Chain A
Amino acid sequence: MNKQSYDLVVIGGGPAGLAAAQEAYDQGVKDILIIERDFELGGILQQCIHNGFGLHHFGEELTGPEYAQRFMESVADRGIEIKLNTMVLEVTPEKMVYAINSTEGMLEIDAQAVILAMGCRERTREAIGIPGSRPAGVFSAGTAQRYINMEGYLPGKKAVIVGSGDIGLIMARRMHLEGASVEAVLEIMPFSGGLTRNIIQCLDDFDIPLRLSQTVTKIHGKERVEGVTVSKVDDNLRPIPGTEYFVECDTLLLSVGLIPENELSMEAGVELDSATGGPIVNEGRETSIEGIYACGNVLHVHDLVDYVTEESKLAGKTAAYFLQDKIDKRKERVEVIAGNDVSYVVPQQITDKVADRKRVDLYLRGRRPLENVRIIIKDGEQELFNKKERVIKPAEMITVPLSEKMIDDLNSEQIEIKIVKEGA
């Protein structure tokens, strides 16, 4: 077997892996390898050709490929080593990385630190259990996006889209502009999971109807999709008998959620959080295994790539500090608990003392859309943080900063973060 060794191995060359590698390099780690399974870097950004990226990080609005190219250039400028067309097969708890490609064969790479940046994948028809036949013409929205934006195929001429998250909305516009007719976007929830801006610019601009509290309950067609049965759903998201109607179409796009891709993490023995689907991490994005870090969509699904960049730089910096022996552990670890109306919080633990750190940002997501609420953090009975928010949407991540002093002064080993209706 071909044996190699690196101080830091980054698995995944998308926005998370690139930012993490860049930051680790800038913090003084020079012996870095990025492993990417595709033929080029950039990850999913290469197929996200729409604009809207980079407003936070670069202060200007970029398309996905432009955002990716900036990081690809900065990694190239630093001379960071990259293996493309290379698939990682296994990561061990001792940080041996097994990978394979067609020029070097099987690789055994001894790493001092590993950053997991594998991203996420889409939920499928099977994940949401749509009954009916199994004809051609059923695609996940991201697959259709790659066909249309990178490979030059239009998947169909008459489409129904299930799921009104941002990918579903953006694909409605792409299908329409490329000449297909989009019959409807269906959303099982009573609210859209997408940004208001996308509802207006992707659906309203082209008179594409958004139908809330509705879903596909049957797919028709033998060789090719011929149509779908749509039903209204009740408050428990169950189809209401008698509300079915038929929509003729040749294509069904599913935009029904993303799952962090953690097969490698699990095999390494990294502990996962059932709420995020990603590893449990501390504030530096270290997983339950020392020296293994996670960032980007493999950790939790982000709504903005700008936040992926921010988080990945943090993971890259922590990995560098670990390699340089600059991290002290706190005496007591602090568990961060997602309380009332919070679906998850990252990091789940605060365990380190870092000399030059000023604050720790908690990323959290609300469980449901709410107005006029307070975000409260409790340290036992004591209130640590209390801030009013006018609007909370599950689609939009909330950042809460904890100052270093607040962390130093903690009384308990557990803090709880919750969202409470004002006046309640």
Chain B
Amino acid sequence: MKQELITCISCPIGCDVEFEVVAGEINNIEGNRCPKGKDYVITEYFNPTRILPTTVRVKRGVLPLVPVKTEEPIPKKLLEKAMKELAKVELEAPVKLGDVVIKNILDTDVNVVATRDLAKR
């Protein structure tokens, strides 16, 4: 048995939710002021995911970079690996918002897309 704590971020209150993990299952959830806290803790404990917003290089654009993001959250543990993949990319201006920069990054079934238009220099 292990006592764990996760702060719920479903709303600005930020409840500190305590729970026990027994044989890979979450038990005795305490401290959440609403049911959202329970759902949040279960996802955050077993499979925490995050949207990754970053940039990639662009040739001949009005700026040397264009911002991008993963269209959906990807597993938290893949964030740094995804950064390394994105560092290899160099686009050519013009770029359109929504252009796919990397399809199915790291086999997550999630695309990385540009988040703005970037005109040619």
Q: Give the B-binding residues of A (Cβ under 8 A).
A: 39-40, 46, 49-51, 61, 63-66, 68-69, 148-152, 177-178, 195-197, 200-201, 205, 390-391, 393, 396
B14 touches A196 (CB 8 A): yes
A197 to B12 alpha-carbon distance, docked (Å): 8
**B54 at interface by CB-CB < 8 Å:** yes
B53 touches A150 (CB 8 A): no
Known: A63-B53, A195-B12. 4 other contacts (CB 8 A): A177-B80, A200-B7, A390-B33, A393-B12
Chain A, Cβ-Cβ closest to B98: A66
List of A residues within 8 angstroms of B69 by Cβ: 49, 51, 63
A205 to B115 alpha-carbon distance, docked (Å): 23
A195 to B116 alpha-carbon distance, docked (Å): 25
A152 touches B116 (CB 8 A): no
- B73-100 near A? 1/0 per residue, CB < 8 Å: 0001001100100000000000001000
List of B residues within 8 angstroms of A68 by Cβ: 116
List of B residues within 8 angstroms of A178 by Cβ: 54, 83
A200 to B62 alpha-carbon distance, docked (Å): 34
Question: Among the listed B14, B51, B57, which residue makes an inter-chain contact with A152, where contact means beta carbons less than 8 Å apart?
Answer: B57
A46 touches B9 (CB 8 A): no
A177 touches B97 (CB 8 A): no
Interface residues on B, range: 20 to 34
Nearest chain A CB to B53 CB, angstrom units: 5
List of B residues within 8 angstroms of A391 by Cβ: 12-14
Known pairs A63-B69, A151-B64, A152-B57; A49 contacts B7 (CB<8 A): no
Question: Among the listed B57, B67, B76, which residue makes an inter-chain contact with A49, where contact means beta carbons less than 8 Å apart?
Answer: B67
**B30 at interface by CB-CB < 8 Å:** no
A65 touches B64 (CB 8 A): no
**B4 at interface by CB-CB < 8 Å:** no
Nearest chain A CB to B43 CB, angstrom units: 13
List of A residues within 8 angstroms of B80 by Cβ: 177
List of B residues within 8 angstroms of A390 by Cβ: 13, 33
A50 to B79 alpha-carbon distance, docked (Å): 14
A195 to B12 alpha-carbon distance, docked (Å): 7
B12 touches A396 (CB 8 A): yes
**B117 at interface by CB-CB < 8 Å:** yes
Nearest chain B CB to A287 CB, angstrom units: 31
B117 touches A69 (CB 8 A): yes
- B1-40 near A? 1/0 per residue, CB < 8 Å: 0000001010011100000000000000000010000000
List of B residues within 8 angstroms of A195 by Cβ: 12
A64 to B115 alpha-carbon distance, docked (Å): 9
List of A residues within 8 angstroms of B120 by Cβ: none
List of B residues within 8 angstroms of A152 by Cβ: 55, 57, 64-65
A86 to B64 alpha-carbon distance, docked (Å): 23
B65 touches A150 (CB 8 A): yes
List of A residues within 8 angstroms of B7 by Cβ: 196, 200
Closest 10 pairs (CB-CB, A-B): A65-B116, A49-B67, A196-B14, A197-B9, A152-B64, A63-B115, A50-B53, A65-B115, A51-B51, A66-B115
Chain A, Cβ-Cβ closest to B58: A152
List of A residues within 8 angstroms of B54 by Cβ: 49, 177-178
**B103 at interface by CB-CB < 8 Å:** no
List of A residues within 8 angstroms of B117 by Cβ: 69
Nearest chain A CB to B93 CB, angstrom units: 14
Nearest chain A CB to B108 CB, angstrom units: 17
